[in-house]
Amino acid sequence: MMKILCCCFLFLFFSVNAMAQESDIIKTDRESLAEANESGVSSKIMAAKEQLSDDLNMEEDARRRDLEGITIPLTPDGQGHLLAQVMINNNIPASLVVDTGSPMLTLNSGFVQKLNVDPGQNQEGYVELLNGRYKALGISLDTVKIGEVQAKDVNTALLLEGAPGIGDGLLGMSFLSKFHFTLDQKNQKLILKKLE
């Protein structure tokens, strides 16, 4: 009898704990289902059950992606580099060379006007790249998104003069270090996991 009570208590404890960790969306779905059950209208009950099921599945998928990481396909540029397609500040596309040796995300000079940056409002300095030294501004990008993964407040070097051989720029460590990352050059992919 004692063993059964302990098992029931453990089940109840874990059930209560799981409910305490539910998102607001799932709590709202459960409340809607309870209201639908009280109404006794079968169409409302079915709709509430389907919504709860859909949202539970979406949250489970998100948890799985956080654990396994998001795989980002990369494209070779023909010069031995791998390119990632990114979206800057939610509306500016860029094709960046994935460069784990670069301390910062670096954008070529063509982005000065696209980002509407006022050079007088930002810190000016120089950036050393493999092919030379370039005048640059230190800026912070609001968002950088690759696939389903997004980072906020990404420190960036914005070149004031064109640098050949880097295309739109370099996806450096100021972005990559916001994640656990694996660069699989053989299979041409980048795997990003949330930091814990």
Domains of the chain: 2-68 (no CATH), 70-194 (2.40.70.10)
- According to the model, what pLDDT value does residue 52 have? 77
Average predicted confidence (pLDDT) for the chain: 82
pLDDT at 25 over 70: yes
* pTM (predicted TM-score): 0.67
pLDDT at 19 over 60: no
- According to the model, what pLDDT value does residue 116 have? 83
- According to the model, what pLDDT value does residue 15 have? 37
Tokens of 39: 């109404």
Strand stretches in 30-104, DSSP E: 70-73, 75-76, 82-88, 92-98
Q: Is 94 exposed, middle or buried (0-12, 13-18, 19+ CB in 10 A)?
A: buried
pLDDT digits (tens, 9 = 90+) for 61-113: 666 655 567 899 999 998 889 999 999 999 999 999 999 999 999 999 989 88
Q: Are strands 92-98 and 82-88 parallel, antiparallel or unpaired?
A: antiparallel
What is each CA distance from 137 to 25, 105, 127, 134, in whole angstroms?
A: 42, 12, 9, 10
3-state secondary structure (DSSP) of residue 119: helix
pLDDT at 44 over 90: no
